[in-house]
Each structure stands twice: as structure tokens, then as C-alpha cells.
Amino acid sequence: MPTKREELVAYLEKEEYTPYGLARETDRRMKDVVYDLRHVRKSEGNRFRVRPAECRNCGFVFRKREKVKPPSRCPMCRSERIDGPWLSIAEG
């Protein structure tokens, strides 16, 4: 039986997910998923891919953001309608 982190790796190797999507898929709390994703990011190294979050209201892209946790609001328009970040693990 895989560990919680191994389960996250398995999901991320198949397709791209947001932290919210992973929490829903694994039936875990968002807080726990974000905590484990930080460790997965370290263990997977260069294979771990992050496509930045984006504001649905004004289109602002959070390019410089290093955190795995989704941003709470846009710094440009203050909207809370944020998509992403999208996470995946590349083959290799």
C-alpha cells in the first residue's frame, strides 16, 4: 500500500492537478496535501513541474511565486478568482 506522498506522486505522474484537485481526489484536507507537496517537490527535484496560477478576472500570472499553495487573491485587481497553480511530475 503506497504512502500518502507516493499516492500524490502517482496522481501527478498521470496528469496535471491543482492542490485543490489533489485534495478532492485523495479525500484529504488541503492543508495536509500542501504540506506533503512541499516534500514531494524536494524529493522529485527537477521532475516536479509547476505551471503558475492565474487570475481569472484580469489575467495576472503569478510567475515568480515559488509556493505550492494557491494564492488567496490577485495583487493587481484584488480578485479571489484564482486558477492554479497546476502541478505535475515529468517522466524521466
The DSSP line for the chain is: ---HHHHHHHHHHHS-B-HHHHHHHHT--HHHHHHHHHHHHHHHGGGEEEEPPEETTT--B-TT---SSPPSS-TTT----EE--EEEE---
Number of alpha carbons in the 13 Å side-chain half-sphere of residue 51:
13
Query: What's the pTM?
Result: 0.87
Written as nine digits, the cell of 81 is: 478568482
* Cis amide prior to 85 (ω within 30 degrees): yes
**Per-domain boundaries in the chain:** 4-89
Question: What is the gyration radius of the CA atoms in the chain, in angstroms?
Answer: 13
Full pLDDT tens readout for the chain, 92 residues: 889 999 999 999 999 999 999 999 999 999 999 999 999 999 999 999 999 999 999 999 999 988 889 999 999 999 999 999 999 999 86
pLDDT of 91: 83
